[in-house]
Every structure is written in structure tokens, then in C-alpha cells.
Structure 1
Amino acid sequence: MGREVLLAWVKDRHDVPGYISVSVSVCQIFLDYVCFLCSRGAFSEVVLAEEKGTQRLVAIKCIPKKALQGKENNIENEIAVLHRIKHTNIVSLEDIFESTSHLYLVMQLVSGGELFDRIVEKGFYTERDASQLIHQILDAVKYLHDMGIVHRDLKPENLLYYSMDEDSKIMISDFGLSKIEDTGSVMSTACGTPGYVAPEVLAQKPYSKAVDCWSIGVISYILLCGYPPFYDENDAKLFEQILKAEYEFDSPYWDDISDSAKDFICHLMEKDFMKRYTTDQALQHPWICGDTALDKNIHESVSAQIKKNFAKSKWKQAFNATAVVRHMRRLQLGTSLEGPSQITPTSPCHAQALLLQEEDEEEEEEEEGPGRSLPHCLLP
């Protein structure tokens, strides 16, 4: 913080929409990034950036200082949290730059896409796969809790795959609502995402890190059936369900799921937070550390419910890091655009140009059925 950054943004509106060339000069350190718009939120933009010298890819969260007015505590809290944590399953903060108008958070790039997208794309998916995913999440959240940090907004959208590899690890992102606990303290601020928030938060009672364990229970439930444990179009009725912890293991969706998995979920989605499993206890459950998770393929049922209950409205959003990295790999294998081009063959911009071309080609296919998922780049 406090370092001056000189940024020169140059948009080429003719060759590639959203293309931005960014040169960053920080004291005696000179970094040259080639970037394109990756994702735009209400208060910030995230760009995929390639460091020309090393071709290392990162994601830069660009936050206008005007948008921070009155929210300084939020961003300071997020940075304070990110500075403290270093875990293999948590998206890391690599650097911070500041200009007169913007704050720039340089984040580790995760390019494997969102959790639900990958499950839908799979051809084979079992309880054991879900157990291994939850094991990684529990391990990361236990690390946070041991550090005195509560995430407070765990949900599938904040769970990203590190890479496109079949055996890629899962990563936790978005620490905008996280909180560093004071010794022996409890929290009372109502926050989180409806559907994943714990009963005590909705009841406006003091709460603790147990809220994260509830959210992991909800995520586990969805991973095994494809639909949420609580749902109603009326928010008041939805909150009433959560407050009462009213959920069922409905037939036929849960008929092939083990009793051990259901027991695991019940211990996490326990209304009484004093009786609710901690991360330590959850990690010791046989469904996580033992061999009770079944190997039966449940992909057809789960993926069908995910498509039905979690409509991917963002499939057609601005192009994302995942898709671009995928195309960059193709380019490195020798694929090239037809005709002359001034775009560097291995650059993200070249990959995005291919993506623009394929978007038009796949327009009609998406009208006939579900389009292929283009997971967007979501970073803290």
C-alpha cells in the first residue's frame, strides 16, 4: 500500500472488444501486462493479466476509489484477511498497487471454473467425489477458523477449480464478508447469501464460526442431490424454513445416497449451533475420513437437478479466464486464426478473439439445448 502506480489504459475497439494494454510502473519495478475485461461487478472490474516478461497469468481486481467511499472498512478487512492466509485451497493475494484513482489487488489466477459447472460437465460423479470436495473445503475452513477468520459467505459460486485438469483442487474465494474474530468474541452483523445462511444469523442472534459449518452442510446437501435443502420464491417463507431447519432427504433423489452422508449433513445442518459439528469434528466423520462414501454414479440425477435449480444465467456473460486459458492451450498446440493478425499468438487477446468467433458458431446450438459452461473468473 502507499506505492504509486502509473497506469496507461489503451483500448483497441477494432480488433478485440475489451482489449486493454496496461503498463504498470511501481517505483523501480516495471511490470507490463496485457489485459482484457474478464468480469464486471457493481463496484469493481476483474481483468485477466499476462506479465509479458514471464507470461505468468494473474487476475487483477480494479476498484475505483470513488466506489470505496463509505466502504473503506470492508476493503481494509478483506485485505487484512487475505494478507494473513496462505493455504493450498484458498485463492491468494499476490500484491497490492494503488494509484490516485484506483486500488489494484493482484490475485492468484484460478481458471478451472465454478463447482457446479464442472459437475455438470462430468460424465461420472459419485458420493466419493463429493466427499473429496467437501474434505478440501473443510480443510481450508478449518485453517481459517484456526487463524480466527470466519468466511461468512461460503456458497458454490465462491468455490472454484484451480485449473482445467481432471484432478484439479478446489479453491475458496471471495473474502469480502469475512471477519477476523477477536478473542472470545461473537458477531452479530446479518450477512451472507439467502439459502446458505445459518438460522442464528437470520434470527439476528450473536453467532460464531459455526455459521461456516452450516453453509458447508448446505453445500454438501446440494452436491448429493442437485437442489437446495431450502427453497421458496417468497423470502419470508424461505427464512422460516431455515429458522426451523426444516429439510428432507426426498425420494427418489436420495434413495441411492448412503446413510453416512445423510448423517454427516445432519450434524452440520444442526439448528443448535452449540451442537453443530465443528470443522475438526466434520473432518473425523467416516463419510470424510473413512470409506462410507459410495462409488455409485449419481451424475445423471445430480446434473439434471443442478441445471434445473441453478440456471446458469452467467453462461452468456463477458468472456472469462477459464475459456481464454483453454484457448491459449489450443494456440500453443499450433491452432491459429485464419488470415493476418497483429495479435500475439499466445496472448489472452488472441484466445479471446477465437472465443468471440466460436460464440457466434455456437449460438444456434444453445437454442437447441444447454450450452457448454463458460465458468467466469470470480475472485475475492
Structure 2
Amino acid sequence: MLIKFSQLFYGLIILYYGWFQVVFFQVPNGLLILGSGMIFCIILDALMTKRNLLDYITKEIFLWFIFALTSFLFGIFLVENKGSLFSSILTFSQFLFLIYGIVYISKRKGTINFFVNIFIIFAVICAFTTVTLGVEVGQGRISMGTRANPNSVGITMALGVVFILYRLDFRRFMYSTASLGIVGLLTYATLLTGSRKSLIAIILILIYWCLFVIVNDLKSLDIFTKLKIIFLLTIVSIAFYYIIYPLFKDSVIFSRLLTLFEAGDETREGMYSEALKFFQDSPIVGIGFNNYRNLSFFGKYSHSTYAEALACTGIIGTILYFVPYLLLLYKYIKLSFLYNIGYSVMKQSRVMLGAFISLLFLGVGVIHFYEMTSSIAFGMLIAFCKVNKTNSLVAEKNKNQSRKKRRSLYASN
């Protein structure tokens, strides 16, 4: 029961922080209240079931906690506006607790399906709001509300597509049809936001899915189901060409892409150059967490996870923040290509690897450690590895035993 209450609080968190507050109004300390409710239920559940809460702190979460701690300690000496520093670190810390909650609940339930389903619902609500009630926020770009960054909405759409593909099951024809229809809705909403990198991310994830997931998926189906799926994909492709493509040609994102390819983005280039200068001025500890916007000529953050980490946290912070990326990449490469862990897990692992690659790409244009949506995605990536760790270890053990047997046979011969 307590786990269900923690899930309820999580659902309220994502809908409030990612949708309600930017479309309607903010509730003072809303995220803190809902997050505290989720963590309180988790603590009670751990006490009642005699579980060690520390067992659910993964290496990634631990390193990001050290990242937050060092950023705060260094920031005290580097940032003039201490209130802004404390607020930024508090928000990031809340994201860490959110990630921890995702890991704990997923491990208790033995699956991340709840979080995948909630994210899909969240993405659909955001897409529907953008399409029907969206407002222009400048340069013809549409967002959910005046307080909603269209790039953040675009990230939600791109990740929503990933998690729809995660749940897609071609053995359920009507479900597959509806899922691909939702992908079309999210893609259209992305066109309205004018988020170039989100649209490119959607295109890349669909190509990746076709090459590394759908081909193997079709092999496991009977001939009649294969024909239905091929027919469905053909219809979807035609629909995209005659519906989505004309909308794309007439959208603001098309002109923004043309401008980018023809002349580049001088503002972004200037931001990245300035970030490099800040890093060179203070390479070890940076200029202070979320302090780029205070010192920059542009008066904004750097629009890049990589530039922001280097400029604001220096070498120390950059290592602490990005080592978890390397750990996740290593884990997903193992899960995606250890065929003896079971086809279903391997298929899901490959989709999640695609999600991780999408986040790496999106990090060029957004700052993940300032984004709740990105934090949720990383939470699900970490939770999936945690849930499937046992299968991975067993698979690796079996693989090593097979190698030893083959070696012994070769030696005996």
C-alpha cells in the first residue's frame, strides 16, 4: 500500500512540475511537498519491510550526490548570489531524490513499467495541450504556456516517443496502431515547439529502432503477424509523408533548420565560446553552479550540458557528473548484447540504450541537470539496470562458464 502511495505522489510530481505549474499556476514549495510525500512513504515502506535504504543508492546516484555537495561547497566561495546558489542546488537535490524514488519503487515492483506508462501519459497531455491550447512564445514557436520553455516541451516529446517504442508490442495489432498514432501526435507537437534538436532526436531514435529493434522483433513473429505489421508500417510511412511532412515544410522548425545549416547559430556558438573562456579562467572548480547566467554577456544559461558542466563546475564537477554516463553506457552495452538474458529484456535494453543516446545528443542543446524531465529519464535508465542486474550477472556468469568449457575442450583436443 505504501508503495502505491509513493507512486501516487510521483504521478502528482511529474504532472504538477512538468505540466500544471507551467500551464496554470505555481503552488509554493509544491515540488518539495510532493517529493517529501513520496520519500516519506518509501522510508515507511523500508521500515515496515526491514529493507536497507542504502541498498538502493546506486553508484550513479552517489556520484551525483557528491557532485551536488562539491558544487555547493565551491559555490559558496564563487557565487555572489548565495540565495540563487542554494535554490539551484536544492532543486537538483530534489531531482536526485526523485531518481532515488524511481529506483526504489522499480526495484520493489521488479519493473519500470509504471514509470514508463506515467511518462507516456505525461507526454500525451503535454502534446495535447501544446496542440490545442498552446501559446506563441516568440519567433512563431508554440509552447504549453508562457512559462514553458519550448525546448523542454520538445525534450518531453522526444523521450515520450522513446518510451512508446519501449512498450510497443507488435503482437497486439490495435495497440501498435494506437501507439504509432501517438508517435505522430508527439512529432507534430515537436514541430510546433520549433525545437530542432528534439525533432532530430525523434528521427534518430526511429532510425535506431528500425535498425536494432524492429528487425529482430519481426523475426520472432509468425508470417501472418509479419504481414500485418509490414502493412501497418507502410500505412504509417505514407501517412507521415502526406500529413507530417507537409506540416514540417510549413513549420517554424523548417526555417530554423535551414538557418542552422546555412549560417549556423551564432548565439549558441557565442555561448559555447564564452563557456570555454570561463572554464579556462577557473579550470578546477569552475565559476559556480548555475552561475553562467549571472556572468554571461547573454544573461542566460549556456544551452549545453557539456558547456555548462565545464564552465560552472570545472574539471572536478565534470568528472563527478559524467562518470555516471560512462557507467550507464557500459551497463547498457552489456545488457543489449548479452543474448542469453532473454529476448524481451534484450529488446527493452536496446530501446533504453537508444534513450540514453538520445539524451547524449539532446545534451548539446539543453542542460540535463537543470531539467526534471531529463532527471526522470536518467532515473528510469538507472532503475532498469538495477532491476535487471541479477539477470545480467547470471548471463555474464553463464557466458564465462561457456568460454571456459570451450577452452577446456580445445585444450583436451
Q: Which gives a bigger RCO, structure 1 or 2 (Cα 8 Å, sep 6+)?
A: 2
- Alignment TM-score, normalising by the size of structure 2: 0.26
| Higher helix content, 1 or 2 | 2
**TM-score, normalisation: structure 1:** 0.27
From the two aligned structures, give the one with the greater strand fraction: 1
